[in-house]
Amino acid sequence: MDALFSFVFRFRAFLLFFALEIISISLIINNNRQQSAVFFNTSNYYAAQILKASNQFNDYFHLGDVNKSLAAENALLRKQFLQEKQRNFGANVRPVEDATIAGKYQVSLAKVINSTTKNTRNYVTIEKGTLDGILPDMGVISPNGVVGRVKSCTPHLSLVSSALNIDQPISAQIKSNKYVSYVLWDGKSPQFAKFKDVTKAIKVVVGDTIVTSGFNDFFPEGTMIGKVEKVVDDKSATFHDITVRLSTDFNSLSYVYVIGNKLKLELDTLTQQLDPQKEKEKDKEKEEKDRKEKIEKEKKNKEKKEKEKLKEIEKEKEKSKPKDSTILKNNP
Amino acid sequence: MNNAAIISQIISFLGYLFFQVFFARHLILFDVAFCFVYIGFLISFNPEISRISFLLIAFAFGFSTDVFYNTLGVHTAACVLLAYLRPYLIELMTEKSNRDTVIEVSIRRMGFVWYSTYAGILLFVHHFLLFVLEASAASLFFITIQKIVASFILTSIFLIIFQYLLFPIRKR
């Protein structure tokens, strides 16, 4: 035992170093997962207060750009609104819309207080949280296009893992021919991403618009992602090598919209019902629960029996005791 | 360490962190050169401190930097490695007879050549582990090497400027 203690004492610095490294690597692994509630990041309340102060100063330099992009978006919305008005003008019969499906997206505006673009996994911190109805896995878009997906929330702030993340593909399609694949960032320039796994049978032209597909429930179908910048065809490769110029300028994000899908819960339950593997897992979980419950019940029964036995023994003892006392009383 | 030294170290802890979060964090040149001047705190820390407590301080320092970078664990791991290697490097680079005289790690005390070799080795180790952990993907090999070299150059320039600002050489 003494030898062990002296060994630990001699190598205490190395052992501590080793332990600290293990802790930090487990932190990294935990942090890189898509779904992880980590509280030590910029969505932490105190960290956010400091960043806000820093951001308020930077805001003044971006005011012009923000104004321009908001005005452009306003103009676009007004144009669409007028077009819609014209279309319905004079029409007595209108298509009946299902209100729940037409209004399934809930949009909330949020201010960006921190945004990185130069790491391999980039995050945007926004100033809205669970108290404003923001939940993990909601989509986030800017006036120009896709931004990312909410990763974790605190009551007043949320952390968004942006499209500039080498681990996060976004389901996308070519606007003109609806060919569906996915966009993934390659970790190099914050302006470009790759449109992956497009077979050579599909014709892709420089300038084609890439938008989100309807196969994900984070973004509304047809949200702008970017335009094809370059198509390189290697003879040995089976797929096109397509570079997309992202329409969102991640360096000057100031305001973003968080998109909540009200029907997401229903969709999830539907897909879960349809997914046989998950059902099997659920069945397994149930079986395990049942087993555990049985074991616990048996344990409890045993304990009860033991207690009863103990009580009986005690009773017997008590029965024998009074006799003794009576004998004692009788004796004198 | 006496009380005054402890207080001055706490102030420099906060000072370096503040500078890193407010200024150096935004200073990225050509998309590859990052400025991680915050490790000047660990490099020029009082060398009389015990290894155990220095490891713990480095852990806390790396962790608080990570909070602002959203890269939990990456800076922590790099800082802890730096803190573990530092005492060995100081031992290696000073002769046995002079070992007790190392009471301040700075250009003023140790000379430019000694300091730049010492800081350069630690800086490179730190940056190497930092960017490898941050990328954690083999496909990013070349860009990671670019980032390591570019950031190494930028950070060492800043460290040397900091040295002349914080430990001014008095003219006799």
Q: Looking at the predicted structure, is the pLDDT value of residue B38 above 70?
A: yes
| Least Cα separation, residue A275 to chain B (angstroms) | 32
- Beta-carbon contacts of residue A151 (< 8 Å; ≥ 6 apart): A34, A35, A36, A123, A136, A158, A159, A160, A161
At B47 the three-state DSSP class reads coil
Ramachandran quadrant class, A185 (left: phi over 0; alpha: psi -120 to 50; beta: rest): beta
Find the residue in B nearest to A28 (Cα): B73
Query: What is the rounded average pLDDT of the residues A277-290?
Result: 70
Please tell me what DSSP assigns to residue A328: H
Is A54's Cβ below 8 Å from some Cβ in B? Answer: yes
Query: What is the rounded average pLDDT of the residues A134-155?
Result: 84
| pLDDT attached to residue A35 | 61
Segment B117-146, tens digit of pLDDT: 888 888 899 988 888 888 876 677 788 888
Find the residue in B nearest to A30 (Cα): B72
For chain B, domain boundaries: 3-166
Is A121's Cβ below 8 Å from some Cβ in B? Answer: yes
Is B19's Cβ below 8 Å from some Cβ in A? Answer: no
Q: Report the mean per-residue pLDDT for chain B.
A: 82
Q: Looking at the predicted structure, is the pLDDT value of residue A7 above 80?
A: no
Q: Looking at the predicted structure, is the pLDDT value of residue A94 above 50?
A: yes
Segment A20-72, tens digit of pLDDT: 888 888 887 777 776 665 666 666 777 777 777 777 777 777 778 778 878 88
Question: Residue A91 — very low, low, confident or very high, per pLDDT cuts 50/70/90?
Answer: low
| Least Cα separation, residue B135 to chain A (angstroms) | 6
List strand residue ranges (DSSP E) for A116-223, in order. Answer: 121-126, 139-141, 146-153, 158-165, 170-174, 180-184, 192-196, 209-212
Burial (Cβ within 10 Å: 0-12, 13-18, ≥19) of residue A52: middle
Is B31's Cβ below 8 Å from some Cβ in A? Answer: yes
State whether B84 and A30 contact (CB < 8 Å): no
Instruction: Name chain B contacts of A30, Cβ cutoff 8 Å.
Output: 72-73
The percentage of residues in chain B with a pLDDT greater than 90, rounded to a whole number, is 0
Instruction: Name chain B contacts of A188, Cβ cutoff 8 Å.
Output: 31, 143
Tell me how long chain A is. Answer: 332
| Token pair for A125 | 């911190």
Q: Looking at the predicted structure, is the pLDDT value of residue A322 above 70?
A: no
- B 38-97 → A contacts, CB under 8 A: 51-52, 55-56, 59, 62-63, 66-74, 76-77, 80-81, 83-84
Q: Looking at the predicted structure, is the pLDDT value of residue A81 above 70?
A: yes
Query: What is the rounded average pLDDT of the residues A6-22?
Result: 81
Interface test with B, best of A8, A10, A17, A44 (most B CBs within 10 A): A17
| pLDDT attached to residue B39 | 86
State whether A24 and B76 contact (CB < 8 Å): yes
Ramachandran quadrant class, A247 (left: phi over 0; alpha: psi -120 to 50; beta: rest): alpha
Question: Residue A291 — very low, low, confident or very high, per pLDDT cuts 50/70/90?
Answer: confident
**Residue among A14, A28, A123 whose CB faces B74 most closely:** A28
Give the C-alpha separation, A185 to A208, whole Å.
18
User: Is the distance from CB of A166 to CB of B140 less than 8 angstroms?
Assistant: yes
Tell me: ipTM over 0.85: no
Segment A190-208, tens digit of pLDDT: 888 888 888 877 888 888 8
| pLDDT attached to residue B27 | 79
Q: Looking at the predicted structure, is the pLDDT value of residue A89 above 80?
A: no
Q: Looking at the predicted structure, is the pLDDT value of residue A332 above 60?
A: no
**Residue among A13, A42, A120 whose CB faces B55 most closely:** A13
| Token pair for A66 | 């923000």
